[in-house]
Amino acid sequence: MGFYGYIVAGGCFILIGAWESLASSNSNPNTSPSSPVDETGSAITSADKSKMSSSSLTFIAISVVSFLFILNSLLSLFDALNSRDRVGSVLQLQVLVIALLFLFYAVLGFFVNFKTSFHLPCSLLNLIALFGFLEEFVLFYMQRKDPSGIENRYFDLLLVPVTICVFSTILEFKLPTSNYPRLARGSALILQGTWFLQMGVSFYTNWMVQGCSLHQKSRGNFTVKCKGHPEYHRGRGIATLQFNCHLALLVVLTVGLYSIMARKYGDGSDFSRYRPLGAEMRQMENMGNFTLDSDEDDGIRDEDNAAKEGAIVETGVNGFGSHK
């Protein structure tokens, strides 16, 4: 994609992920207004309505980013055809298919959002997004143009946020009213965007690993070769360290922002069933002391008490028990 392509793609992913995270934090799944009915008579649930209303800007941003990816893929495809680079042309065809799939998802979601007479469940849109993330996973997993290229390590680490997007989208099928899958997907998109920025800086600037250089066969087909095994292992180690720094920074920012949003808007937790930890202990103390005496011991003790009382009464009757 080139340096500017990675920078633009990374910035767009960060913006989309940030909006997804903020929208998931602001929305309240516990509210259940009356479900309206569209012209066809099908009821629109409150969860679908809230997600559609909060995703309008997301659909617009995804459509713009998908269009930019399509434009970049077409330019790279023509350059690969002119350079007679078969690997580059096949690679750009895969990117083109993924971009078209996400563009279809964005256009369909935007159309459903503003056309109440044409209602589709969110599960169908999530299924399209799931196919897109799976295609993206296969693209980066199978991208092995040069087995000794340093870029393979960057693509392998890119599978982490893509996998989170896949599982969060699957989890949204099971928990359609929960905000946590959307928050996880937004955080993964932010991580994917920051890693795109890192890849652009690491591949196309002077900050590349010492002893390695970029080799391009076409506009979209490149590899990063190193002089020897020490430079190769150092490059892989630096890539892993960079990803850990990106992940740690994302965790700190996500926890901080979520705590602020939860304090301001609430996290939807139900504290009505909360009980103090010492409540059960105090109830047990009020019930009396626990003893190991059996029922037989209680019966023997009662008989002894009755015998003593009888002896006292008999002594009082004979005149020896009380003196005035």
Q: For the chain, what are the domain ranges?
A: 3-23+47-265
The per-residue pLDDT for range 302-312, each reduced to its tens digit, is 555 655 555 55
pLDDT score for 42: 42
Neighbours of 10 (CB within 10 A): 21
> In whole angstroms, what is the distance from residue 163 CA to residue 93 CA?
22
Q: With 70 as the cut, is the pLDDT of residue 179 above it?
A: yes
Stretch 87-98: mean pLDDT:
90
Q: Supply the pLDDT for residue 19.
A: 86
- Check whether 164 has a pLDDT greater than 90: yes
Query: What was the pLDDT predicted at 159?
Result: 94
For residue 158, what pLDDT band results from cuts at 50, 70 and 90?
very high
In angstroms, the CA 20 to CA 17 distance is 5
Give the lowest-confidence range in 56-60, 95-99, 161-165.
Answer: 56-60
> pLDDT band at 27, cuts 50/70/90?
low
Reported confidence tier of residue 102, pLDDT bands at 50, 70, 90: very high
**Tell me, what's the pLDDT at 97?**
92
Mean local confidence (pLDDT), 217-235? 87
Q: Does the pLDDT at position 268 exceed 80?
A: no
Contacts of 237 (CB under 8 A, 6+ apart): none
In sequence order, which residues have a C-beta less than 8 Å from that of residue 250 and are 6 or more positions away?
Answer: 187, 190, 191, 194
Please state the rounded mean pLDDT for residues 190-219: 88
Q: What is d(CA 235, CA 249) in angstroms, rounded to the nearest whole number? A: 21
Q: How far apart are CA 226 and CA 205, in angstroms?
A: 16
Of residues 170 and 263, the one with the higher pLDDT is 170
Please compute, for residue 263, the number of CA atoms within 13 A of its CA located in the half-sphere on the CB side: 6
Residue 130 near residue 170, CB atoms below 8 Å: yes
Average pLDDT over residues 77-94: 89
- Name the pTM for this structure: 0.73
Helix 122-141 to helix 46-54 angle, to the nearest 10 degrees? 50
- Given a cut of 80, whether residue 251 has pLDDT beyond it is yes
> Using CA atoms, how far apart are residues 129 and 125, in angstroms rounded to an integer?
6
Minimal CA–CA distance to 249: which of 5, 12, 14, 7? 14
Residue owning tokens 């002594």: 315
Q: How confident is the model at residue 279 (pLDDT cuts 50, 70, 90)?
A: low
pLDDT greater at residue 299 or residue 67: 67
Span 221-234, mean pLDDT?
Answer: 88
Predicted confidence band of residue 96 (pLDDT cuts 50, 70, 90): very high
pLDDT, greater one: 113 or 247: 247
Mean local confidence (pLDDT), 78-90: 88
Output 140 or 294, whichever has higher pLDDT: 140
Whether 149 has a pLDDT exceeding 80, the answer reads yes
User: CA-CA distance, 121 to 116, in Å (whole number)?
Assistant: 12
Task: Say what the pLDDT of residue 308 is.
Answer: 56
Average pLDDT, the chain: 77
The fraction of the chain above a pLDDT of 70, given in percent, is 69
- Report the pLDDT averaged over residues 132-158: 88
**Burial (Cβ within 10 Å: 0-12, 13-18, ≥19) of residue 48:** buried
